[in-house]
Chain A
């Protein structure tokens, strides 16, 4: 009997210790974050506070030196600017790459473009179908060679090489740039003729297939950026260019271990006098890939890492997020910026062909529980339609919510059931739901949606794919969707640039459908949508047209809008000059201008 009591006592003590440890409040990781550092770099500087970096500069300083330590839970989709499509990869590109045009103001009410490698914002003809730029003198690659107009032309041509280097936002270029019919990119088809893109000396003239008043937004994208003509970065070329892209920015690749780490050091060939966008302070940037998201967050809190370069696909892990929001010492190092980005469920019309069946899914979805999966109201605002805030045509959910999940957004079962009647399946039907792994969110969203839809008899079965291939070849292949009979997916989309075309071109225009590498997952090909999107670039659309676009997309019922994203980020207080990059990367910090104190 003595033995038994001892055993029980030991077990209780051990269990108790674990519970106590888990519940104890954390040591404040905030340290000396309150001080505003040395001389303010400009009069927008503020000291650390919650949401301070959203549209101001936190901890201004001119102190140079040190190493910025970043972490991410997976590698970038690519470091090759043609292929990279992740927002955080675009943000990282500001460290080592420059394009003709760049963003000077990345947040606030209006983003601002400014010339980067170009001398000015380009000149165009009357109907916006031809644009000419001149490169600044003295801009060089990391190997000392000058950046020429031919390099810009070659970079644009690479967008057509979808066999060798698939992926990326190339559809903007393959459909927008004039090129010979069946042009397959520089590796197979050589160069495009001068009548399409002419590069002579430092001047490049680009002809477009259709008017595009917003062309400078495309020239601010990494995929438009120059790549050394034909040599690229021998031996890294084509699909291996990602291992060491040639740098034009203030930093360059020192060592890269795919899936593990990336080290960037200063590029001596970059000169500050040619660059108004970047004012780098650190000597080195280290990116470590830590596949365990909780471990990464603990390194953030302890100061071993300065920031999560990838924003964590939803920000901080739920445990750390709770800590940050409830501890004032941590909260002042956090920001919750909004982004022109929507999280949604594509409903594949090639598999669920009847629009009423699709409507039923809209009505029965429990958007509130799904937002909770992502962390609740700090993660976003529930969306009634696809156009997010910041893009013209946006309407708050209280004003426009056509296939509404009810006043409390938990699902309108009555309407769902009547739609099921209308599509001839009153008892529901089976749907295969695809999501990417590893993911903290995929399985939970699936579980929430499964529970929500089963209330009206729609039964979900899951199918998964790795996140490095899910978007590109799994739901990004219309033939794969039909083959595997995938009915629904889970995705988020941020505006590639802050216009309707920037948000919708790749996901809603019929002319952007490709296989694989498709971002228009449900293969939406509606004539009204196409016509509105194609008219925009001529500068001929009005706010009313953009509203009409938003409404038409809802009528076709292929995208269940879940919420408009907000993401909670955490910054290490030792970082200086911190501000959010909303233009490229959903509010992740603009690392190129950050220093360490």
Chain B
């Protein structure tokens, strides 16, 4: 098992490295395609004229006059040692480890912005995942045990509707009903879990439902299908014949077999989750990483965009490693091979 985990971690490290190279290259090459020096996107204002001495100084300070792979190496090594960044007109700052750059638009280090946004996004992602996993599994299990019943029909329709309707529609509809019209919940105003748990909960419920709704259907249908298939297996009949309580049969034997495809799909969905989170955060005005990336894209704040992309990519890879490990936990055949 340990060897399995180590193999997976090494693989993940390689993937993270490749992602960082590709992302960096895209962000360094893209400005040149628009005939605008990258300097403009880093200092957040018009740089001095292209031929001038100050411009060359700035390019040199940011390293844009070196070959691409050297720029990448500089950026990578700079993450791990503090250095100063200047916009050439009086604003200079010291970037502390881990140094992901500095946003001259918001006058804040990129790592600070990400650190502030992370709890919001984590609250959203973790809460929604739990909701859709539990919800999907529950609905799927019951539907799978009673195929063709009223619960099955309604359950499948509801989950299918939820996944077909885009979040920028379900989100405002949820707000319209629960906040503006019926007033059951207050306006979404995020408060950290550690400061005001009740406010945190009340604010996160609707975003969780909107986000979970977009994913739950797949899990419900998958669980339903595997459940139906598993429950017709011979060993299930044997277990029931042995006199095991229904719950043990369903959960320990039936559900357990259904879990492996669930974990696989979940790992893949994490990628989609990041995209869906951007929409959800914007709709509900939650100031997480998705919201941060949209603000940065709108204001062309390149260091922030680069920082958020790398962090998101790393998070995704790590999550996939965890999913792989869970897969091995659930299915012993995987770890032994």
Contacts and interface: CB of A to CB of B under 8 A. Distances in A.
Interface residues on A, range: 35 or more
A516 to B, nearest CB: 5
A239 B91 contact: yes
Interface in A1-20: 3, 6-7, 10, 14, 18
Contacts of A14: 161
Given A238-B90, A437-B298, A258 B173 contact: no
B74 interface: no
B194 to A, nearest CB: 17
A21 interface: yes
A164 B181 contact: no
Interface of A: 3, 6-7, 10, 14, 18, 21-22, 24, 26-27, 163-164, 166, 187, 238-240, 242-243, 257-260, 288, 290-292, 294-295, 298-299, 301-302, 304, 437-438, 466, 468-469, 473, 477, 515-516
29 contacts: A10-B154, A18-B176, A22-B176, A24-B181, A27-B183, A163-B89, A164-B90, A164-B91, A166-B46, A238-B90, A239-B87, A239-B89, A239-B90, A239-B91, A240-B91, A240-B107, A242-B107, A243-B107, A259-B106, A259-B295, A291-B282, A291-B291, A295-B175, A295-B188, A298-B179, A302-B187, A304-B189, A473-B45, A515-B46
B46 A477 contact: yes
Contacts of B104: 239
B188 to A, nearest CB: 7
Given A18-B173, A295-B284, 15 more contacts: A14-B161, A22-B176, A24-B181, A163-B90, A164-B89, A187-B90, A239-B87, A239-B89, A242-B107, A291-B295, A295-B188, A304-B189, A466-B298, A468-B105, A515-B46
Contacts of B70: none
B46 to A, nearest CB: 5
Contacts of B282: 291-292
A288 B45 CA distance: 26
A258 B157 contact: no
8 tightest Cβ-Cβ pairs between the two chains A and B = A258-B106, A466-B298, A164-B90, A239-B91, A238-B90, A164-B89, A163-B89, A292-B285
Given A10-B154, A298-B187, A516 B46 contact: yes
Interface string B105-128: 111100000001000000000000
Contacts of A290: 285
B90 A295 contact: no
Contacts of A22: 176
A423 B181 CA distance: 56
A468 B299 contact: yes
Contacts of B153: 3, 6-7
B221 interface: no
A259 to B, nearest CB: 6
Nearest to B104: A239
Contacts of B322: none
Interface string B258-286: 00000000000000000000000011110
Nearest to A73: B285
A468 to B, nearest CB: 5
Given A24-B181, A290-B285, A466-B300, A295 B187 contact: yes
Contact of B45 (A166, A259, A515): A166
Interface in B188-243: 188-189
B172 interface: yes
Contacts of A468: 105, 298-299
Nearest to A258: B106
A295 B285 contact: yes
Interface string B93-109: 00000000000111110
Interface residues of B, number: 39
B299 A239 contact: no
A21 B187 contact: no
B4 interface: no
Among A166, A288, A466, chain B packs the most CB atoms within 10 A around the CB of: A466
A258 B89 contact: no
A259 B106 CA distance: 8
B158 to A, nearest CB: 8
Given A258-B107, A292-B283, A469 B187 contact: no
B82 interface: no
A238 B93 CA distance: 13
A288 B287 CA distance: 12
Contacts of B283: 292
Contacts of A294: 172
A20 to B, nearest CB: 9
Contacts of B175: 295, 298
Given A10-B157, A291-B285, A477-B46, A469 B299 contact: yes
A382 to B, nearest CB: 32
B11 interface: no
A387 B287 CA distance: 41
B80 interface: no
Nearest to B172: A294
Contact of B176 (A21, A243, A437): A21
B17 interface: no
A466 B90 contact: no
B207 to A, nearest CB: 12
B26 interface: no
Contacts of B90: 163-164, 187, 238-239
A462 B244 CA distance: 69
Contacts of A7: 153, 157
B118 to A, nearest CB: 14
B177 interface: yes
Interface in B276-332: 282-285, 287, 291, 295, 298-300
A271 B318 CA distance: 57
B187 A304 contact: yes
B190 to A, nearest CB: 10
Nearest to B158: A10
Contacts of B187: 295, 298-299, 302, 304
Contacts of A299: 187
B147 to A, nearest CB: 13
Contacts of B134: none
B108 to A, nearest CB: 6
B154 to A, nearest CB: 7
Nearest to B177: A21
A295 B186 CA distance: 11
Contact of B287 (A260, A301, A302): A260
A434 B217 CA distance: 42
A164 B48 CA distance: 12
A186 to B, nearest CB: 11
Interface in B151-186: 153-154, 157, 161, 172-173, 175-177, 179-181, 183, 186
Contacts of A304: 186-187, 189
Contacts of A21: 176-177, 181
Given A164-B90, A469-B300, A473-B45, A239 B107 contact: yes
A438 B283 CA distance: 13
A241 to B, nearest CB: 10
A301 B179 CA distance: 11
Contacts of A302: 180, 183, 187
Contacts of A238: 90-91
A295 B171 CA distance: 11
B195 to A, nearest CB: 14
A299 to B, nearest CB: 5
A510 B154 CA distance: 70
Contacts of A163: 89-90
